[in-house]
Amino acid sequence: MPGGGRVAAVTDAHFEVAAGECLALIGESGCGKSVLASALLGLLPANAQTAGEARLGALDLLAADERTLARTVRGRLVGLIPQSPAAHLTPVRRVRSQLAETVRALTGTRGRTALRAATDRAAERAAFPADHLDRHPHELSGGLAQRAATALALVGNAPLLLADEPTTGLDRDLVDHTVDELRRHVDGGAGRALLVITHDLTAAERIADRVAVMYAGRIVELADAAAFFGAPGPRHPYSRGLLQALPDRGFTPIPGLPPELGDLPAGCAFAPRCERATAVCAVPPALTDGTACHHPHRPEDHRA
């Protein structure tokens, strides 16, 4: 910030992702979702600071040094589908070369024939066309770059997969293929889990077991996915507004804009946009029973 101030991009993010589970983290752009994912892998800017714990088994990801993150965590314990896949691909190397290197490093596959076959299988898993494997990243569309990044992330069958907007640039059929493959990753091996960050609520409904909603750097709702997308529906007014903005649910946008993280209002950050706000909302609400709201919706508020 100007003047050397600091911005709390993510605050009080308390959640778990259990083995065999997919947690979908949703919310408008700029709310801190991708910052949280970057923090887990030690990919924040050098001047960023983290506090707290992020446990993966006995390992605290936030306390791990760069050597541990590079040699033990990234790709092996935690796979990442990045939000900007083209920026994570090496521009001067063909996709096949990058995928083969990852297959060799994470699976131990050796021999030209075996490595080529394993590389082809990895590409097929992410619906990346075989006839594009010998292209450079700049020759790929955004959707193809997304599929290349997905293929790379899936190679190691990591216990935890972080997928940051994994369906960006894909048409609906490829969105369904991608989320189904991510679901198979979770279901296909003991101890695997998935944290998917997405704006695509249709994809989230298809893949998630639970939903976490983030607003202005804080998680404001944690809910079972079936209850969230069905009955009784979301409890937080912001969460309900996200669903009501979908074309098949009313196409009604949430009024106003999210606040700047460096200039948050006192009390509930959503109050200036919320039709249910009252004077009590001047006090920040705690996350109680899965909802951080003084006036949450009740089951009887649900409308089919």
CATH code, domain with 262:
3.40.50.300
Q: Give domain status of residue 96, yes or no.
A: yes
Q: How far apart are CA 123 and CA 208, in angstroms?
A: 24
Three-state SS at 40: helix
Q: Is the pTM of this model over 0.95?
A: no
Contact partners, residue 294, CB within 8 Å, separation at least 6: 268, 278, 280, 281, 283, 285
Q: Give domain status of residue 134, yes or no.
A: yes
Q: What is the pLDDT of residue 269?
A: 96
Task: Please answer whether residues 165 and 199 qualify as being in contact, where contact means their C-beta atoms are separated by less than 8 angstroms.
Answer: yes
Structural domains of the chain, count: 1
Q: Give domain status of residue 302, yes or no.
A: no
Write out the residue range of the structural domain in which residue 139 sits.
2-297
Q: What is the pLDDT of residue 1?
A: 47
The pLDDT tens digits of the residues spanning 221-269 come to: 999 999 999 999 999 999 999 999 999 998 999 999 999 998 999 999 9
Three-state SS at 149: helix
Task: Please answer whether residues 206 and 212 qualify as being in contact, where contact means their C-beta atoms are separated by less than 8 angstroms.
Answer: no
Q: Give domain status of residue 303, yes or no.
A: no
The CA-based dihedral angle spanning residues 53, 55, 58, 59, taken in that order and rounded to the nearest 10 degrees: -70
Residue at 36: amino acid letter: L
Q: How far apart are CA 3 and CA 53, in angstroms?
A: 29
Q: Give domain status of residue 304, yes or no.
A: no
**Residue 39 is encoded by which pair of tokens?**
């923090």
Three-state SS at 163: strand
